[in-house]
């Protein structure tokens, strides 16, 4: 039975989802949020360093320079029309957040403070100490509360309702009370975030299991640039907790076991402020060639002084003391590359619309694409806000002009039957070892550097894991807070995404941004591969296709830092 | 230097035992179950729960997400005190042989095992009208100009991750479930203290209601147990000071506080005999005359005449003037305190290490998360 019907239903309630909800509400639509965790628990809140907009508060800056840096950072795979939209709208969108009460750090004359970030030509990253994402999630949730926008909290979205070739709602498992619930909607916006849980040693939360990407894939929407997984240069061993790029923005050094600032050999001009793909490769090379320390390099903050660390990098200090046993005031922090951000995702246009009518995607789960082959630090939060706003407006306008919603009985019945089959299964394997093998093999075979033979092997491993998943069993048969069930469903999503990523990586026979093949294709090949990969599932088998990159002002150039 | 650092991740494993209060809301069954696991030496309480759920009992219910102390999902109790499971390293506990008892947070209804119903928590947050009310018709073209010093007033309150640990531990809420509670009041201070918010008087009047700021018993459990250093009790104290400054002093608690201040600036000692009439009014004071005489006879309070003046009353008066002079920015005391701490504790004289990093090449990395 259909629980409720809305004009706009947003799956995921992080920065992108909440920003979309606010915009859709203000456009007059009946909007609701649906999320498997409470909105303020969303992983947007773990973003630390800041949000990029050419405010020009710290030095001369312009949206054009922001766009150029982003295009170059993307290794020319970003769509330039989308990038120009992002950079042009960013300043006003940041002022809007400030007017809502975001607690930004301030300059001496009381304006929003901005710090230097990797591969940016100007100090462009507006910040709130090192808890920028936290501050933005809370200010957006305050605005959601103000507008009394309803939220289906702790509802796990499991299926999209397709009817009449349109997406008309979501079927979700209610975690607190149990049971499948169908929620009808004229438009559905996917804003579920990334899929970092594909890897061990990830900065991503347990919640980041690529749900929205898999939901879209299952209704035939192509995923774009799925081979492009960003490895963040500064994560803590062993679990991958994020240490912000803001450390390097404030002046921290990266050292190898000889105590050398090794980036002088890789990015002699930008040094620690080169782009993330460049630094992650440099670190991995140092570690592989025996100049690491216990599989790490060192992030040295000591020369910044206690006062600066306490004021601007307080959270970083707390994290490294808790998880690494290191107080950065006295000792350098051991760090290494860890999976961090999926540049790829659901293929959308610049309004977030997918190939299915009524279905939108935004934020990390989408690929619009502003990040191309490598995202710049601080651009992800900006994307969630600017494109969240745009998608919310477009979905609301479309919903208000179109009237019907129908969730066919058969869709609900099929979902019930499928779920019952999973819960009734008594013989088989519990999901955790499949999950662990997936994450460690992706790390091993589809990581910072990629080899043909390893990628092929990974393809076979993923296929084997998908077969084992067919016989997966759930221990908990109960209704109340059954995360045993939802974790099993999440693993199903992850496996399909891994199956999509590997062939895209094999097909892209070049090195571009995060996709580095130093052993067989060490160079970028603009002749053949200045284009996006698109992947769909046909009878459970991934099919790779291509899509041109949109170019406006900037032609590809050699990329050095 | 801090001495409470957890050990750096190593490559050995440890044996960990713990007991968990299981609760089944359908049957109402409660049971304290013991679990023993072998785990890498770096694990947190949350990692141990994950191992139990994976390998021992998939029905164990708890919330988790970021595992880096920012999402606020995994508040629970260890040996009766609220903690974030992801922040709690298990090494020292396991090595000591202690078997901790894990249970759901207090003051909130338990739904299953370690999962509580957070709805009453959010009801109280919403009651604070927790959104900026800048009182403008048209916003400025760019940002509001606000100094860092003014933003620092709400620095601590803005750190709150809404995990509920303070509410779990709140003694006032235990006796009066309608008490607004530390998290909601800290959220309230986040707006009262915001230089951009124009609704502070309306807010303060609201927060001075029954079940409001003056119902806090000042047990400081919230400050002690907050995993993020928000110090909600300090926020409540700031709300009290702001209320009195705005002339909102109808509550007995406000009057009580005011008399302490008057005493401090006049005689330097608390003038107890005048405290009751000033706080509770003349009628109530007369009713308590007999009790007061009893206290006087036994030397528990000094006689009102001659006034009991502190020997160095000028110090007390100077302190009064200093606090008054600092005004709201004095609330930044905590942040100033951290700066001061930084200067005192971390200067070179105090032994900051500036030598090259100590490195140990050739040592194997710890096992990856599994």
Same domain, B165 and B222: yes
Q: Which class is A409-529 in CATH?
A: mainly alpha
Distance CA A491, CA A122 (A): 41
A427 burial (CB, 10 Å; 0-12 / 13-18 / 19+) is exposed
Angle A226-A229-A235 from CA coordinates, rounded to 5°: 160
Cβ <8 Å between A295 and B365: yes
Question: What's the gap in Å between the CA of A293 and the closest CA on chain B?
Answer: 5
pLDDT in tens, chain B (370 residues): 344 566 667 778 999 999 999 999 889 999 999 999 999 999 999 999 999 999 999 999 999 999 999 999 999 999 999 999 999 999 999 999 999 999 999 999 999 999 999 999 999 999 999 999 998 878 899 999 999 988 988 988 999 999 999 999 999 999 999 999 999 999 999 999 999 999 999 999 999 999 999 999 999 999 999 999 999 999 999 999 899 989 999 999 999 988 988 888 888 888 888 888 888 888 988 998 888 889 889 988 878 778 788 888 988 888 888 877 776 665 444 444 444 444 444 444 434 434 333 333 333 333 443 3
Q: Judge whether B131 is closer than 8 Å to chain A, CB to CB.
A: yes
Return the H-helix or E-strand segment holding B110: strand B110-112
Look at residues A240, A255, A270 and name the one whose alpha carbon lies nearest to residue A303.
Answer: A255
Query: What share of chain A has pLDDT > 70, as a percent?
Result: 100
In chain A, DSSP finds a helix count (H) and a strand count (E) of 15, 20
Q: What is the pLDDT of residue B303?
A: 80
In a domain, B3, yes or no: no
Say how many domains are in chain B: 3
Nearest CA in chain A to B69: A319
Q: B237 and B276: one domain?
A: no
List the single best residue of B1, B25, B47, B59 to mutate versus A (max A Cβ within 10 A): B59
Domain, as residue range, for B222: 119-136+145-245
Among the options A115, A124, A248, A276, which is catalytic?
A: A276
Q: Which of A294, A336, A475 to substitute to test the interface with B, most B CBs within 10 Å?
A: A294
Is residue B274 assigned to a domain?
A: yes
- Residues A301 and A332: beta-carbon distance below 8 Å: yes
Could you check whether A233-337 and A409-529 share the same CATH topology? no
CA distance B30 to B48: 21
Of B245, B264, B290, the residue that ends a domain is: B245
pLDDT at B6: 60
Residues A233-337, CATH architecture: Alpha-Beta Complex (3.90)
Residue A115 catalytic?
no
Asked if residue B35 and residue B53 are part of one domain, the reply reads yes
Q: Are residues B225 and B130 in the same domain?
A: yes
B262 plus B212 within the same structural domain: no
Nearest to A515 by CA among A525, A505, A502, A529: A505
B345 located within any domain: no
Check CB contact under 8 Å for A205 and B63: no
Residue B111 sits in the same domain as residue B150? no
From chain B, pick out residues whose CB is under 8 angstroms from the CB of A100: 131-132
Residue A398 near residue A186, CB atoms below 8 Å = yes
pLDDT of residue B5: 63
- Give pLDDT tens digits for A134-167: 999 999 999 999 999 999 999 999 999 999 999 9
What six digits make up the tokens of A99? 């007017």
pTM: 0.93
Residue B108 within any structural domain of the chain: yes
Please list the ranges in chain A whose pLDDT falls under 50: none
A142 CB neighbours in chain B (<8 A) are: 130-132
Report the complex ipTM: 0.97
B36 plus B104 within the same structural domain: yes
């Amino acid at each position: 039975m259909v629980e409720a019907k809305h004009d706009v239903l947003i799956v995921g309630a992080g920065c992108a989802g909440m920003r979309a909800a606010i915009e859709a509400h203000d456009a007059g639509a009946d909007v609701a949020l649906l999320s498997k965790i409470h909105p303020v628990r969303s992983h947007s809140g773990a973003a630390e360093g800041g949000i990029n907009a050419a405010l020009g508060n710290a030095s001369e800056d312009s949206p054009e320079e922001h766009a150029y840096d982003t295009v170059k950072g993307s290794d020319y795979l970003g769509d330039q029309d989308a990038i120009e939209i992002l950079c042009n709208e960013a300043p006003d969108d940041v002022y809007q957040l400030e007017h809502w009460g975001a607690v930004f750090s301030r300059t001496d004359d009381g304006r929003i403070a901005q710090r230097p970030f990797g591969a940016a030509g100007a100090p462009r990253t507006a910040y709130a100490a090192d808890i920028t994402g936290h501050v933005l999630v809370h200010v957006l949730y305050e605005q959601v509360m103000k507008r009394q926008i309803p939220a289906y909290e702790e509802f796990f979205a499991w299926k999209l309702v397709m009817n009449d070739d349109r997406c008309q709602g979501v079927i979700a498992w209610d975690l607190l009370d149990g049971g499948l619930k169908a929620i009808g909607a004229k438009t559905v916006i996917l804003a579920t975030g990334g899929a970092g849980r594909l890897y061990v040693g990830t900065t991503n939360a347990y919640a980041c299991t690529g749900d929205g990407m898999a939901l879209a894939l299952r209704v035939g929407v192509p995923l774009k640039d799925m081979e492009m997984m960003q490895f963040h240069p500064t994560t803590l061993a062993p679990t991958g907790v994020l240490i912000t790029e803001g450390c390097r923005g404030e002046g921290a050094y990266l050292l190898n076991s000889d105590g050398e600032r090794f980036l002088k050999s890789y990015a002699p001009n930008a040094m620690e402020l080169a782009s993330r793909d460049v630094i992650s490769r440099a670190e991995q090379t140092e570690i592989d060639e025996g100049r690491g320390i216990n599989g790490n390099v060192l992030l040295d903050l000591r020369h910044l002084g206690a006062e600066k660390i306490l004021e601007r990098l307080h959270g970083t200090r707390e994290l490294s003391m808790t998880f690494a046993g290191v107080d950065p005031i006295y000792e350098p922090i051991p760090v290494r590359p860890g999976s961090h951000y999926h540049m790829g995702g659901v293929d959308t246009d610049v309004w977030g619309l997918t190939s299915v009518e009524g279905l939108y995607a935004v934020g990390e789960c989408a690929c619009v694409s502003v990040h191309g082959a490598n995202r710049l630090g601080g651009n992800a939060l900006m994307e969630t806000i600017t494109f969240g706003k745009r998608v919310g407006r477009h979905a609301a306008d479309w919903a208000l002009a179109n009237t019907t919603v129908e969730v066919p009985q058969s869709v609900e019945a099929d979902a019930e039957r499928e779920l019952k089959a999973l819960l009734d299964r008594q013989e088989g394997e519990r999901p955790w070892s499949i999950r662990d093998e997936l994450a460690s093999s992706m790390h091993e075979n589809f990581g910072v550097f990629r080899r043909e033979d390893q990628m092929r092997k990974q393809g076979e491993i993923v296929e084997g894991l998908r077969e084992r998943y067919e016989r997966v069993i759930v221990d908990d048969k109960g209704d109340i807070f059954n995360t045993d069930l939802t974790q099993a469903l999440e693993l199903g999503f992850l496996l399909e995404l891994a199956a999509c990523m590997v062939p895209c990586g094999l097909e892209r026979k070049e090195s571009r941004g995060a996709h580095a093949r130093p052993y067989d294709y060490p160079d970028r090949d603009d002749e053949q591969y200045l284009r996006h990969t698109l992947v769909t599932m046909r009878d459970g088998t991934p099919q790779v296709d291509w899509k041109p990159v949109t170019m406006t002002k900037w032609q590809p150039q050699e990329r050095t830092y | 230097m801090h001495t409470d650092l957890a050990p750096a991740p190593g490559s050995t494993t440890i044996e960990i035992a713990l007991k968990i209060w299981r609760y089944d809301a359908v049957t109402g069954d409660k049971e304290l179950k013991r679990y023993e696991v072998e785990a890498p030496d770096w694990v947190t309480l949350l990692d141990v729960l994950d191992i139990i759920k994976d390998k021992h009992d998939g029905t164990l219910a708890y919330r988790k997400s970021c595992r880096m102390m920012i999402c606020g999902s995994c508040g629970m109790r260890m040996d009766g005190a609220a903690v974030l499971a992801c922040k709690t390293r298990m090494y020292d506990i396991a090595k000591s042989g202690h078997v901790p008892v894990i249970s759901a947070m207090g003051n909130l209804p338990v739904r299953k095992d370690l999962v509580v119903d957070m709805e009453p928590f959010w009801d109280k947050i919403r009651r604070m009208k927790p959104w900026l009310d800048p009182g403008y018709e048209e916003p400025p073209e760019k940002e509001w100009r606000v100094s860092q010093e003014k933003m620092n007033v709400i620095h601590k309150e803005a750190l709150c991750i809404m995990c509920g640990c303070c509410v779990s531990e709140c003694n006032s809420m235990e006796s009066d479930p309608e008490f607004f509670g530390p998290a909601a009041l800290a959220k309230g201070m986040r707006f009262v203290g915001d230089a951009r918010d124009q609704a502070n008087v309306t807010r303060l009047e609201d927060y001075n209601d029954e079940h409001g700021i003056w119902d806090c018993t000042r047990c400081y459990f919230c400050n002690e147990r907050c995993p993020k250093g928000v110090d909600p009790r300090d926020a409540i104290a700031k709300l009290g000071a702001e209320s009195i400054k705005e002339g909102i002093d109808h509550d007995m608690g406000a009057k009580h506080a005011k008399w302490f201040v008057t005493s401090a600036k006049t005689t330097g000692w608390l003038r107890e005999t005048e405290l009751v009439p000033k706080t509770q009014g003349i009628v109530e004071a007369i009713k308590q005359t007999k009790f007061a005489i009893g206290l006087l006879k036994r030397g528990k309070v000094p006689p009102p005449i001659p006034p009991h003046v502190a020997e160095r009353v000028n110090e007390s008066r100077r302190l009064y003037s200093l606090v008054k002079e600092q005004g709201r920015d004095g609330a930044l005391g905590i942040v100033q305190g951290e700066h001061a701490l930084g200067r005192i504790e971390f200067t070179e004289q105090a032994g900051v290490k500036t030598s090259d990093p100590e490195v140990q090449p050739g040592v194997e990395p710890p096992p990856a998360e599994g």
